Amino acid sequence: MVGSIYLAIFVAAAPGPACAPELFRIGRSTNANEVVYTARTGADGALDPEDPIEADWHMLAEDGHREGLNFIERLMAYGFSVDPAESGKGFTVILEARKDRPVTLSLRAGCPAALVTIAGRTALLRRIFVQAESGGGLIPSVAWVDLEGTDPATGSSVKERVFPQ
């Protein structure tokens, strides 16, 4: 009897889900550095209504330090815009590099999640990989982009390769 009372107290006091702030990352063929997108939440675990997502470089080709995106990167490649979702729950995130694939940022089971369509299915976005080709100019061209995610219902991997039009 005493043991079951302690168990009931322990279960009632157990914290909510441990949520990782990382939503997804963008890597590219030019080096190991990646832009990591993380959710910003308040002390209550809710998404920050003013600034729910942020992005910064993880300099994995160097010592792993982090750097913010510069103006050009925010404007042309790795930046994003955020608007409240039409449903009133969460946000719609438009990535500069993939304007054709809106990302829905919301809470799932109390944790931040980024949902996007991959291969015709709704998936938790995990990674975007860009295969770049140097064309001799300042900005490399894109040969293809891999979108990788997880089916939220089954946990299975979902992938799609997209070619520029």
| Segment 67-119, tens digit of pLDDT | 999 999 999 889 999 999 988 789 999 999 889 999 999 999 999 999 999 99
Task: Please state the pTM of the whole predicted model.
Answer: 0.85
Tokens in use for 20?
């990782």
Distances (CA, A) of 97 to 74, 100, 129: 10, 9, 11
pLDDT at 97: 83
What CA–CA distance (Å, rounded) separates 78 from 80? Answer: 7
137: confidence class by pLDDT, cuts 50, 70, 90 = low
Burial class (CB in 10 A: 0-12, 13-18, 19+), 37: buried
Q: Which of 117, 60, 66, 126 is nearest to 92 (CA)?
A: 117
Do residues 127 and 105 lie in contact, with contact meaning Cβ atoms separated by under 8 Å?
no
Return the pLDDT at 17: 57
Query: Once rounded to an integer, what is the mean pLDDT over residues 135-148?
Result: 84
- Written as six digits, the tokens of 45 are 């675990």
Sequence-separated contacts (24+) of 152-156 with Cβ below 8 Å: 152/108, 152/113, 152/115, 152/122, 152/123, 152/124
